[in-house]
Amino acid sequence: MIKSYRGLMNDDTQVKIPLATSDGKTGYRIVKFAIMAKEAGTTEYEHIVKIYKGKQATVTGEVDFSDDQLIGAAYLEGNSGEHYSDQQTVVFDSEYFNQDIFVTHADVKADPGKDANFYIELEQVKLSEVEALVAIVKNLRTEQ
C-alpha cells in the first residue's frame, strides 16, 4: 500500500510525520519525493528539503550524506531575473524504517526565506518481529 504526505513549509521549519506504531511491525520506504516552490517563477530561491529518521536540533541548508539519520534530500533552485526554469535534484534512500520521520526546509538564497511544498509517497509493508526489532535498534543507534 502507498501512503502519501504533503504540506507547505515556511523557511527554517521542521514537520513531524507520525508513523510509529506500538508494535513496530509496520514499515515504510520512500518511493517518491518531490518539492515545489510556493511562488515559482516570481522570485529567487534555493530550497533544501530533507527527510530524517529523527528530530533535528536545528534546520540547515547543508546536505551530508554520511549522516545516518538523513534518508532523503531535495534541492530546488529558481531565478526569475535570469528567466531559467526551476532545477530540481532529489535523492532518497531505499531503507525501510518504522519510526516517525521529520521533514526540514531551508531557503538558503532568499531573505526573508520563501515557502516550499513537499510531497512524499511511502510504501507501507508488514515487518516480521525480527525485522521490526532490527529497524528499531538501527534507529536507536543512529540517534546517539
pLDDT of residue 78: 82
**Level-2 CATH architecture, domain 2-143:** Sandwich (2.60)
Distance CA 60, CA 11 (A): 10
Residue 139's pLDDT is what? 67
Cβ proximity of 118 and 50 under 8 Å: no
Q: Where are the domains of the chain?
A: 2-143
Instruction: Tell me the pLDDT tens digit for each residue of 102-112.
Output: 999 999 987 78
- What does the pLDDT read at residue 144? 53
What's the whole-number mean pLDDT along residues 41-50? Answer: 86
Counting Cα atoms < 13 Å in the Cβ hemisphere of 49 gives 28
Cα-based distances in Å from 94 to 2, 31, 107: 14, 8, 26
